[in-house]
Amino acid sequence: MKFCRHPYYPARYAALDADRVRVEADGGEWGEFDRNARWIGGPLRHADPIYCRWVTSEIKAEAATARSGGG
């Protein structure tokens, strides 16, 4: 799992799959969210929706490329 640090908030984001994101705050709390930042589970209940979509976009692009036979 590859984490990306949020540029403005003390948290790291990682895409679990094309529609799920794990967010880990620097304080140790974590949460899982869909790609639109709707809470799925964990003690952390808020995430940046734009950043959630950004970290899952790479997986969605890879899946689209694989389906089209490119890459």
What predicted TM-score, i.e. pTM, was given to this entire model? 0.80
Structural domains in the chain (count): 1
| 5 has pLDDT over 90 | no
pLDDT of residue 65: 57
Residue type, 52: C
Q: Which of 4-8, 44-48, 53-57 has the weakest average pLDDT?
A: 4-8
Nearest to 52 by CA among 65, 66, 67, 39: 39
- Domain membership of residue 59 as a residue range: 4-68
CA separation for the pair 9, 21 (Å, rounded) = 16
Query: Which pLDDT band holds residue 7 (cuts at 50, 70, 90)?
Result: confident
